Amino acid sequence: MRSAFPGPFRSIAITVVPEAARLDEAGWTEVEAIIGRALDARPPVVRRQLGMLIRMIGLLALLRYGRRFASLDAARRTALLTRLQDARLLLLRRGVWGLRTLIFMGYYARPAAAAEIGYRADPRGWEARQ
Amino acid sequence: MTEFSYDIVIIGSGAGGGTVAAALSDMVRDGVRILVVEQGPRLADHEFTGREIEMADALYEDGGGFLTADGTMTLAFGRVYGGSTVVYTGTSLIAPERVIRAWDVPGLDHADIERRSRRYMEQNNVHYLDASEINENNRLFVEGCERAGYRAEQFPVNVKGCRGSSLCNLGCPNAAKQGTNRVQLPHAERNGVEVVTRAEALRVEDRAVVVRVHEKPAGAKGAPSEWAPGEYRISAGIVVVAAGAIGSPALLLRSRRDGGSAAAGLRAARLPRLGQGLTVHPAHILVAEHGRAITNDVGHPKSYYMDRAAEEGYVLETCMYFPFTTAKNLTGFGEPHSRLMRAFPRLQMILVLAIDRALPWNRVTVDARGKPVVHYTLDDVVIERLVRGTRASARIFFAAGALRVHAPSAEPQLIERDEAERLDERIHPRHFWPGKVSVSAAHLMGGCAMGRNAEDSVTDAWGRVHGVPWLYVADASLFPDALEINPYLTVMALADRVAEAVRRDAPAHLARARDQAGAGTTGSVRV
C-alpha cells in the first residue's frame, strides 16, 4: 500500500523513530492517519510545506550520496537529518523540528506505542495501580 | 444575521470570563440579562478520556501546538467551556507582592489582589495535597532540591476528590479539578446567566458583538451549540472581553480594523499599546533517567516548585507529560531519543520557566483573515535564564540520584552522572538553537495591559479600555508584565475587580443603552 506522504516519508520516520521499522501496514496507516488529521486541522499551506520538505530531503540524499534516501544506511540518513536540524538557516531547523514532531505524534499517540514504552497513566489513578 | 440584545456580554469563559460571569450573576435577579460567549465546546464528563491527541484536539487551540510567527515556540491555551482552567494543573499561588509593586498600576495594590485571591482559593477548594498523595516524581524533586541546596515549596491546588490520574493537562477525567467549568460557570448558569458555546466572536462593534455559531463537526466531542449555527449580532450595554492573552488583543485589533462605522467609537479610541507587551514564561521540559521505575504517570503531576524568579530569572516546577508531548520536547531524534522514551517508567521531569519582560516587539497582531499572529523573539536574556534553570534542574536531578539528564541546551543533550561536575560547561547558551530546541509556553500574559493612560497601556486598573467606557477586559492580557508565577488565581482576582467595576458602572451604561435602543428591547429578542 502506498504512503499518504511523498516518497521518503516512511524512511524518514524510521530514522526519527527507529522502532517504526517494525510497523506493519496497519500500523503505518494508523501513524499516517494521525498525522493526516493534524494536518487537516491546519491551513493547507502547512501540508504543502511538509511535502516540499520531504521531497527536498529526498533530493539532498541524491545530491550528497547519489542514492535515494530510502537506500541510505541508518548512519547516513541520521547524518543528513542532523545537518538539516543543525542548519544555520532557521527555516530548515524549524522545518525538521516540525517534521519530527509530526512523526512523534503519529507514532507515540498510538495506544500500542504508549504501552510499548511503559506509559501507564489511567483515569482511575492510584486505584489502577493497586 | 440574527439580532439579539443583552445587557452584558462576556466573551470567554475561562479564569477571567467565568469569574466575571459568576460575580455578576446575582444581577440577573434584577432583570439584567447576561450572556457568556465561548468559542469552544461544552464537554460531558464521560468525554474526558485522558487520551492524549483526542483530548488535546478537543480542549486546546491547535491541539496545544499554536506556533509563534517565527516557528520557534508553541503556545498552549484552552478553547472549551471553562477555557484554560480545564487544562491546567490547578496550581494556585497568590501574586508576589514585589511583582504587583513593580507593575506600578495606579489604583492596584497587592493587598486587594491577595484578598480577592483568598476568596477564590476558598471557593475553588484550594489546599495542599496530603503527603500520601505525592508521587515519586515530586518527592525526588524535593529530595534533590534539599541535597542541592535549593528550597522546594509545595503548590496549593484546587482539586476535590483527586484520584491521581496525572492527566490534569488533558482535562481531569474525574471532574476533580475545580476550574471555572466546575465552579463559577455552573453557579452563574444556575443564577440565570446564559452561555452559548461554539460561538466565535468575530468582532466587537460599538455596544455590540458579532459572533458566528459553528455547527458541531462530525465525530467531535462536546454538545452542539445552544444556538443554531449562523451569524448573530448581539447588542449589549456592556461588553467584557475575556478571550485570553492571544484572543483578546486579536479580537480588539480585528474589530478596529474591520469594524467599519459600526465600530466607530472603538476605532476612534487611541490604543497604541494594544497587542504589545506579551509575556509567556517560555519553558523547557527536562527529563532525567533513574536506575529504577518511579511513580511518575500516576498522582498529581505538579505538586512542588522552586522559585528563583527574583534572584536568577527562572522558576522550576515538577511536571509529567504524555508520550507524544514528551517525545516532542526532547531535542533530537533517532536511537538516543528512542532510548529515553523507552525509559519512560524511570523518567523524572522538571519544567523550567524563564521570566521574560514585557517588550513592545513581543506582541499579538492579526493576519488578513483576522486570525491571531504571535510575534515573539527568544532573546539572549530569556535563553540565559532557560540555561540557568536547566543547570539547576540538572543539579537537582543528579542530587536525587538520576543516572543521566537530557538537557536541550547541551551538545550532546544527554549528560551522564560522571559529568555532573561540568554542568556549567556542558549546558550553555551556545548550544541553544531556536527552532531546534523545543520551547513551549502556557502562561500567556499581556497585550491589553493595565496602566495609567493610552500612552502606556490599554485599560485602567479596573479593566476599562481607555476611551471606550462600555468596554472592559478581564483576563491575563491585563498583566502589564510577567507575573513570575502560575497566573490563573491572579486572573480570577483581577476579573473580580473588573466585575466590581462593571457592577458600579452598570446603571449608567445600561440606562444609556436602553435609551439608544428604545424601550422594551432589552432581552434576547430575535429581530
Interface predicted TM-score (ipTM) of this complex, two decimals? 0.96
Residue B382, amino acid: V
In B376-456 the beta strands, taken as DSSP E runs, fall at 404-406, 414-416, 440-441
Taking 50 as the pLDDT cut, the residues of chain B under it are 519-527
Between A94, A104, A116, which is nearest B72 by CB? A94
User: In B, which residues are within 8 Å of A111 by CB distance?
Assistant: 51
CB contact under 8 A, B299 and A125: yes
- Whether the pLDDT of residue A5 is over 90: the answer is no
Residue A22, amino acid: R
Q: Write the pLDDT tens digit of every residue in A71-83.
A: 999 999 999 999 9
Instruction: Search chain B and give the residue with CA nearest A105.
Output: B324
pLDDT confidence of residue B518: 61
Query: In the structure, what pLDDT confidence band is assigned to residue A2 with cuts at 50, 70 and 90?
Result: low
CB contact under 8 A, B333 and A15: yes
Distance from C-alpha of B42 to C-alpha of A105, rounded to nearest angstrom = 26
Distance from C-alpha of A76 to C-alpha of B10, rounded to nearest angstrom = 57
CB contact under 8 A, A125 and B174: yes
Kindly report the backbone phi and psi dihedral angles of residue B502, in degrees, each rounded to the nearest multiple of 5, phi listed first. -60, -45
In chain A, domain spans? 9-129
Distance from C-alpha of A87 to C-alpha of A92, rounded to nearest angstrom = 6
CA atoms within 13 A on the CB side of B335: 5
Q: Is A22 on the interface with B (CB under 8 A)?
A: no
User: In A, which residues are within 8 Å of B409 by CB distance?
Assistant: none
pLDDT confidence of residue B192: 98
For the entire predicted model, the pTM comes to: 0.95
Distance from C-alpha of B489 to C-alpha of B114, rounded to nearest angstrom = 10
Q: Let me know: does B275 contact B444? Beta carbons within 8 Å.
A: no
Please, is B31 exposed, middle or buried when counting C-beta atoms within 10 Å of its C-beta (0-12, 13-18, 19+)? exposed
- Which residues are bridge partners to B373 per DSSP? B365
CA dihedral B175, B180, B181, B182 (to 10 degrees): 40
CA B230 from centre of chain: 28
User: In B, which residues are within 8 Å of A107 by CB distance?
Assistant: 327
CA dihedral B476, B503, B12, B485 (to 10 degrees): 20
B521 contact partners, CB below 8 Å, separation of at least 6: B5, B514
B202 contact partners, CB below 8 Å, separation of at least 6: B210, B211, B212, B231, B254, B370
CA of B39 vs chain A CAs: smallest distance (Å): 16
**Residue A80 to residues A87, A100, B103, B225, B341, Cα–Cα distance (Å):** 11, 14, 48, 49, 23
For chain A, helix (H) and strand (E) counts, in that order, are 6, 0
In a mutational test of the B interface, the residue from A93, A96, A103, A110 whose CB has the highest number of chain B CBs within 10 Å is: A93
- Tell me how many degrees the CA angle B364-B61-B167 measures, rounded to the nearest 5: 130
Distance from C-alpha of B496 to C-alpha of B107, rounded to nearest angstrom = 15
CA of A26 vs chain B CAs: smallest distance (Å): 19
Residue A90, amino acid: L
Distance from C-alpha of B195 to C-alpha of B80, rounded to nearest angstrom = 12
pLDDT confidence of residue B522: 45
Task: Map residue A79 onto helix, strand or coil.
Answer: helix
pLDDT confidence of residue A80: 97
Distance from C-alpha of B169 to C-alpha of B366, rounded to nearest angstrom = 28
Instruction: Please measure the distance between the N-terminal and C-terminal CA atoms of chain B and give it in whole angstroms.
Output: 9
User: In B, which residues are within 8 Å of A127 by CB distance?
Assistant: 163
Q: What is the mean pLDDT of residues A111-122?
A: 96
Q: Is B173 on the interface with A (CB under 8 A)?
A: yes
Please, is B61 exposed, middle or buried when counting C-beta atoms within 10 Å of its C-beta (0-12, 13-18, 19+)? buried
